[in-house]
Amino acid sequence: MASLPSSSSLQQLPYRTPLTLLSPVSDNFVNLPISNWLRRSRFKCSAGQTGFFGKLGRLIKEKAKNDVEKLFSGFTKTRNKLAVIDELLLYWNLSDTDRVLDELEEALLVSDFGPRITMKIVESLRDDIYAGRLKTGNEIKDALKRGILELLAKAPKTELRLGFRKPAVVMIVGVNGGGKTTSLGKLANRLKNEGAKILLAAGDTFRAAASDQLEIWAERTGCDIVVAEKEKTKASSVLSQAIKRGKEQGVDVVLCDTSGRLHTNYSLMEELVACKKTISKIIPGAPNEILLVLDGTTGLNMLPQAREFNEVVGVTGVILTKLDGSARGGCVVSVVDELGIPVKFVGVGEGIDDLQPFDAETFVDAIFS
């Protein structure tokens, strides 16, 4: 196990060229380090999301809209499952409505939109068709897409909410095998590429190879890392060391890995509560984000996990992984509708750049193109 680095050994990674930006508190100008891209784009941040962090979160989301090819490719299997809808609507006529809607319902269920969502969408379409508000197959498809967007609007804040105080702290939680540590590494890479200084905290002290895996990601992304000095170190202790080090070193974001655990394991879930309390003692109001990593291949089976994690630690966002290998893309809508938690990132491939910020309109276009 690697030893905990000293303060002096942590590499000072310089920001890109400083840029004058509006202060989050007043109209005075202050010098804040940020990526060169922002030289050409200055915009206000939403409440509670100020300065560098607000612009960082919005930049990531804006770039995602310009990188839709990966998202479209990642949802190929779901899109292929739903392609039957186009075939159904191509020759639709009013007398054939019930049969077409029954088959549309089946297509949505197979893609894991869930019974409640599916019935709500289908019955709304049925009412509009028989009321004469939808008269063509294209109108029905457009109404279907609008209905899904309305459901996703229940949790609209899909950008990272990193507050205004450095370092921002993000906890990554989830069950074993869901892609938690890999998602953390990919998120570190994305933030680092936008000019943020990142510190990784190896808080998974339960799994033997977890720290080694995260150290590989630290090397791969060029980020510093804090690991336990010895075996059986408490996760909260590692996170405490990392956050204190982050404050000393002027780090922008501390990404905290945690041990994977079954949502039914009470003692391990309580450990997450202890980690959260430790973080908030050092930085009031932190962690800024608690991101739950869910395996997209499990479909609707992920919902009990999400409910339990949310009840215990208060999940602020979801990362859905492995969606490129699944035809269950409808689970994205189920998570938002059932829990009211925004999906913030989706994993659509194995590459380091394949963790994509979630955008509702792009998602709907990707599965119903």
Q: Which of 62-66, 156-160, 172-176, 199-203 has the lowest mean pLDDT?
A: 62-66
The verdict on residue 36 lying in a domain is no
CATH code, domain with 124: 1.20.120.140
Look up residue 96 and give its DSSP letter.
G
Q: Residue 48 has what pLDDT?
A: 46
Shared-domain flag, residues 100 and 247: no
For residue 40, with 0-12 CB atoms within 10 Å meaning exposed, 13-18 middle and 19 or more buried, which class applies?
A: exposed
Shared-domain flag, residues 92 and 209: no
Look up the domain containing 323 and give its range.
168-361
> How confident is the model over 65-106, as pLDDT tens digits?
556 666 666 677 777 778 888 888 888 888 989 999 999 999
Instruction: Identify the domain boundary among 125, 152, 179.
Output: 152
Look up residue 341 and give its DSSP letter.
P
Q: Residue 270 has what pLDDT?
A: 87
Q: Ranked by mean pLDDT, which of 10-24, 196-210, 273-287 comes out on top?
A: 273-287
Owner of token pair 């809508």: 333
Shared-domain flag, residues 174 and 140: no
Overall average pLDDT of the 349-364 stretch: 88
- Give the chain's radius of gyration (CA, Å): 22
Shared-domain flag, residues 251 and 349: yes
Q: Which two tokens stand for residue 359?
A: 């955008």
> How confident is the model over 319-341, as pLDDT tens digits?
999 887 776 778 889 889 988 99
Q: Residue 91 has what pLDDT?
A: 80
The verdict on residue 68 lying in a domain is no
Shared-domain flag, residues 220 and 104: no
Is pLDDT above 70 for 45?
no
Overall average pLDDT of the 26-53 stretch: 37
Shared-domain flag, residues 182 and 143: no
pTM over 0.95: no
The verdict on residue 95 lying in a domain is yes
For residue 25, with 0-12 CB atoms within 10 Å meaning exposed, 13-18 middle and 19 or more buried, which class applies?
A: exposed
CATH code, domain with 193: 3.40.50.300
> How confident is the model over 6-32, as pLDDT tens digits?
433 333 333 332 222 222 333 332 333
Shared-domain flag, residues 121 and 177: no
More confident residue, 259 or 328: 259
Shared-domain flag, residues 212 and 337: yes
Shared-domain flag, residues 189 and 266: yes
Owner of token pair 């075996």: 231
The verdict on residue 273 lying in a domain is yes
The verdict on residue 77 lying in a domain is no
Shared-domain flag, residues 110 and 206: no
Q: Residue 27 has what pLDDT?
A: 31
| Calpha distance 160→343 (Å, rounded) | 10
The verdict on residue 138 lying in a domain is yes
Shared-domain flag, residues 237 and 324: yes
Overall average pLDDT of the 267-283 stretch: 91
Q: Residue 72 has what pLDDT?
A: 64
Shared-domain flag, residues 231 and 281: yes
> Domain count of the chain?
2
Q: Residue 16 has what pLDDT?
A: 30
What proportion of the chain, given as a percentage, has pLDDT over 90? 46
Contact between residue 163 and residue 55 where contact means Cβ atoms under 8 Å apart: no
